Amino acid sequence: MLFLATEAVTHAAKAGIAEKAWLIPLLPALSFLVILFFGKKLPRGGSESGILAVGLSFVISIFVALDWISNQAIVDQHWVWWHNGDTKITIGQHVDGLTAMMFVVVTFVSLMVHIYSTGYMHGDVRFTYFFAALSLFTASMLFMVLADNLLQLMIGWELVGLCSFMLIGHWFEEKNNSSAALKAFFTTRTGDVGLMLGIITLFFAAEKTFHIETINRLALEHEIGHGLLLAGATLLFLGVMGKSAQFPLHIWLPDAMAGPTPVSALIHAATMVVAGVYLVARVYGVFWEGFSIGAGGLNWMALIAGITMIIAAALAFVQDDIKRVLAYSTVSQLGYMVAALSVGAWTAGVFHLFTHAFFKALLFLGSGSVIHAVHSNNMSEMGGLKKYMPQTYWTFLIGTVALAGIFPFAGFWSKDEILLGASKNGYPFILILGTIGAFMTACYMGRCVILTFHGEYRGHGHPHESPRSMTVPLLLLAIPSVGIGWLNASMFHVEKFAHWVRFEVPGVEFEPPEHKADIALALGALAVAVAGLAVAYWVFYLQTAPNRGAFERSPFLRGVKNVLIEKYYLDRIFVDGVVGFIKGPLARATYWTNQKIIDGFVNAVGAGARIAGRFTYDVLDQKGVDGIVNGIGVSASETGGVLRLVQSGRVQQYALMLFAAVGLLGLALILFT
């Protein structure tokens, strides 16, 4: 039995279905077990179980979200899992706007990906296994989102990492795929060391509790020292850098594209990689105080996010693999989300997470549809697909303009909010980097669309439109990509999202700053995005730009291109620098230390123990203990030998002794009285 004792604590005035939110992760978890044990016997190889469970979870998520919208009652319950001294390890659920939003996003995208995968993975060798892993992933992600304490969050966090590893290496027969899986796992694990240390730091800083709401409250009420908060936030952010692919730990995400495309859509674009963003949003009190976000200027998190969004966008220009373009785009967009949170624009960051999940999942599934048609990932073998697969083209185009931030598609609203927050909260460099990033985003996405769908077909065979199981999810995802931004169209005085999803700690007067819309800024961002698309059209479609071929002719530009193709040599630095150092000098030094010092010490202890043992045996045991035991025996035996002389058995001798004794006693009586 998992729950030893149940001790539910609720401070919700009235909570309906939100209290049953634990069902949402439970259903996919059950589905995972069903697929694992019975999947191969099911008529559709286990996919129906996954779709059913995730579909039900999606329905419940919708109800939870509606319940939240009408009641706005935070559910915060926990059950004691086990006691450790005075510390209670609990497992719980915390349902507020952020949780409800994540539930809807994760279950919706997961449902789309499940349906899409029945077409995309049709006939795959490990079809059942794939769906089992998808179910497990969905369950883990939802479990993480549900967490009311950091320990539970970390369990979910690690589980999604494991699922990511399993699914990247789905076709592990090829060395590249298994290497990519390992790279993803190790890189995120590197960050997770920080996460774990951060959780431990906060645990002790916050009077031994993992409870997120309590930690937030203590942080915001200055009950925890600033130094501890800074350390905690910095360490937690290491975990975020790993999971949400922030520079310089972003290197795993493009390689993770080795996995099947639906996995890329679900895990490496829409849900798992935003876990880091979710963590920052969830434990925002710690980050707000730790990095002094309210003070403006510059903080470490903003710096990393700013670097991430620019360098990743630059890398997207030189990729030939369509999925890698999208992967770098994801890295860049994650940079936007983290940047938003780092400048105090909490709602904007979370809103961008929300919109991005839809259009990026759409783009990935669209690219999967293309790959399915042409049997290649490379854009050099695509082109002109517009007329072969119109549904894919139009939905992909919708995703592109949404990502580029064109009015009135989803990305426009959320990106505008981020730039607004950066400008109003005193982070000008994020505003500048964000604007440059917006231009680059529009430009590389334009390039991607043009190379894939326009011009002449450069590949082999006859491409064809994908089956309905794949196009229907595309259409369903296209709807929110178009319209979901209107949930928070602040310049039209629609601020539903900001009202529904907000950072709130009961009993603490704190709200991340919100700002009035700035029409000029929005128009500027829109102009930049349009300019990006126009440049892409000019350079890659018309191919009449005056400096065509400049990247081949100019040595400087060629150098720049090489740096980009080599991914800033980061992989080299990691492999030669870190791994090489560990394999070479560090390994030798460790070996030497092991052999000479640790083994020497161990051997010395062993030899000492031998000498002590010999001494104990020879002196203490043989001479001491045995001597005493033998001595007692011998003395008893010899005393007996003397005494047995008296026991002659002759009555008269006994009588003689008797009378002699009486005589002696009588004599004594006479003499001494």
Partner 1 sequence: MPVTQYVLLSALLFCIGIYGVLARRNGVLVLMSIELMLNAVNINLVAFSARLNDVAGQVFALFVIAIAAAEVGVGLAIVLLIYRNRVGVNLDEIDLMKG
Nearer residue to partner 1 within complex by CB, 462 or 650: 650
Nearer residue to partner 1 within complex by CB, 643 or 671: 643
For residue 598, what is the DSSP state?
A: I
Site for partner 1 in 606-665 (CB under 8 A): 643-644, 646-652, 655-656, 659
Least distance from C-beta 607 to partner 1, angstroms?
Answer: 55
Q: Which residues, 6 or more positions from 422, have their beta carbon under 8 angstroms from its beta carbon?
A: 339, 340, 343, 345, 428, 430, 431, 434
Least distance from C-beta 649 to partner 1, angstroms?
Answer: 3
Least distance from C-beta 661 to partner 1, angstroms?
Answer: 13
Least distance from C-beta 640 to partner 1, angstroms?
Answer: 9
Separation between Cα atoms, residue 380 and residue 402, nearest integer Å: 24
Least distance from C-beta 653 to partner 1, angstroms?
Answer: 9
Nearer residue to partner 1 within complex by CB, 41 or 644: 644
Task: Convert residues 149-178 into a mask of x (bound to partner 1 by CB under 8 A) and - (unbound).
Answer: ------------------------------
Read off φ and ψ for residue 52, nearest 5 degrees: -60, -50
Burial of 105 (0-12, 13-18, 19+ CB in 10 A): buried
Separation between Cα atoms, residue 532 and residue 403, nearest integer Å: 12
Give the CA distances from residue 487 to residues 352, 355, 359, in Å, rounded to whole numbers and listed in that order: 12, 10, 15
Nearer residue to partner 1 within complex by CB, 578 or 667: 667
Separation between Cα atoms, residue 560 and residue 317, nearest integer Å: 12
**Is residue 248 reached through a cis peptide bond, with omega within 30 degrees of 0 on the bond before it?**
yes
Task: Convert residues 184-203 into a mask of x (bound to partner 1 by CB under 8 A) and - (unbound).
Answer: --------------------
Task: Convert residues 325-344 into a mask of x (bound to partner 1 by CB under 8 A) and - (unbound).
Answer: --------------------
Nearer residue to partner 1 within complex by CB, 576 or 638: 638
Nearer residue to partner 1 within complex by CB, 616 or 648: 648
Separation between Cα atoms, residue 416 and residue 340, nearest integer Å: 11
**Is residue 513 reached through a cis peptide bond, with omega within 30 degrees of 0 on the bond before it?**
no
Task: Tell me, by CB under 8 A, how many residues bind partner 1.
Answer: 12
Site for partner 1 in 2-21 (CB under 8 A): none
Separation between Cα atoms, residue 490 and residue 286, nearest integer Å: 28
Nearer residue to partner 1 within complex by CB, 483 or 663: 663
Q: Are 58 and 108 in contact (CB under 8 A)?
A: yes
Nearer residue to partner 1 within complex by CB, 566 or 638: 638
Q: Are 485 and 413 in contact (CB under 8 A)?
A: yes
Nearer residue to partner 1 within complex by CB, 85 or 641: 641
For residue 210, what is the DSSP state?
A: -
**N- to C-terminal Cα separation, the chain:** 88
Instruction: Tell the residue number behind the tokens 């899986």, with chain if given.
Output: 181
Least distance from C-beta 650 to partner 1, angstroms?
Answer: 5
Closest CA to 156 of 164, 147, 169: 147
Nearer residue to partner 1 within complex by CB, 176 or 648: 648
Least distance from C-beta 648 to partner 1, angstroms?
Answer: 6
Least distance from C-beta 656 to partner 1, angstroms?
Answer: 5
Least distance from C-beta 664 to partner 1, angstroms?
Answer: 15
Separation between Cα atoms, residue 281 and residue 427, nearest integer Å: 19
Alpha-carbon Rg of the chain, whole angstroms?
Answer: 36
Instruction: Tell the residue number behind the tokens 């002196």, with chain if given.
Output: 619
Task: Convert residues 483-522 into a mask of x (bound to partner 1 by CB under 8 A) and - (unbound).
Answer: ----------------------------------------
Least distance from C-beta 662 to partner 1, angstroms?
Answer: 10
Nearer residue to partner 1 within complex by CB, 637 or 652: 652
Closest CA to 342 of 303, 370, 374, 399: 303
Closest CA to 437 of 422, 426, 451, 452: 422
Least distance from C-beta 672 to partner 1, angstroms?
Answer: 22
Least distance from C-beta 646 to partner 1, angstroms?
Answer: 8
Nearer residue to partner 1 within complex by CB, 590 or 647: 647
Rounded to an integer, what is the distance from CA 180 to the centroid of its chain?
17
Least distance from C-beta 651 to partner 1, angstroms?
Answer: 6
Two tokens at 112? 């789309």
Separation between Cα atoms, residue 640 and residue 442, nearest integer Å: 111
Nearer residue to partner 1 within complex by CB, 542 or 651: 651
669 near partner 1, rule: CB under 8 A:
no
Binding site for partner 1 (CB under 8 A): 643-644, 646-652, 655-656, 659
